[in-house]
Amino acid sequence: MLHDYPNITTEISAQLGKMRQEIPDTLKGFGMMSRAAHSEGALSNKTKELMAIAIGIANRCQGCLAFHAKALVELGCSRAEFMEMLQVAIYMGGGPSLMTAAEALQAFESFGGEATPAA
């Protein structure tokens, strides 16, 4: 289960840069969709990122775990908020989501998210 999530974001970002050169309209369209989804509205950006990583868990997407965990740490997501999101993701996705939720927690902690409290 050990993944280097900071490295995953770096490697994927490099590949996206190449794709941006070769299929610019597609990447531009995706960027516009991302900006629209993150625009100010009834939900906070933190709530939207919690939703996004929960979907990443359900889809078992390592890149999604990396990018959204990083964003959540930058948005000041607390461990308690992150753990509650994991509860919902596990509830909705069962055993497979439980396994990916453990990986999402690793991603959150690897970007500086609050670590497991001392016993």
Q: 3-state secondary structure string, 62-92? A: HHHHHHHHHHHHHCCCCHHHHHHHHHHHHHH
Q: Which of 116, 92, 107 is nearest to 9 (CA)?
A: 107
Note the pLDDT of residue 1.
60
Look at 1-5, 14-18, 109-113 and tell me which has the smallest mean pLDDT: 1-5
> Can you tell me the distance from the alpha carbon of 106 to that of 17, in angstroms, rounded to the nearest whole number?
26
Domains and CATH numbers, the chain: 5-38+45-110 (1.20.1290.10)
User: Could you report the per-residue pLDDT of 8-18, keeping only the tens digit for each?
Assistant: 999 999 999 99
User: Could you report the per-residue pLDDT of 18-27, keeping only the tens digit for each?
Assistant: 999 999 999 9
User: Could you report the per-residue pLDDT of 39-75, keeping only the tens digit for each?
Assistant: 989 999 999 999 999 999 999 999 999 999 999 999 9
**AA letter at 52:** A
Contact criterion met (CB below 8 Å) for 81 and 47:
no
Is 31's pLDDT higher than 90? yes
Quote the pTM value.
0.91
Angle made by CA atoms 66, 12, 116, in degrees to the nearest 5: 15
Contact criterion met (CB below 8 Å) for 59 and 68:
no
- Across all residues in the chain, what is the average pLDDT? 94
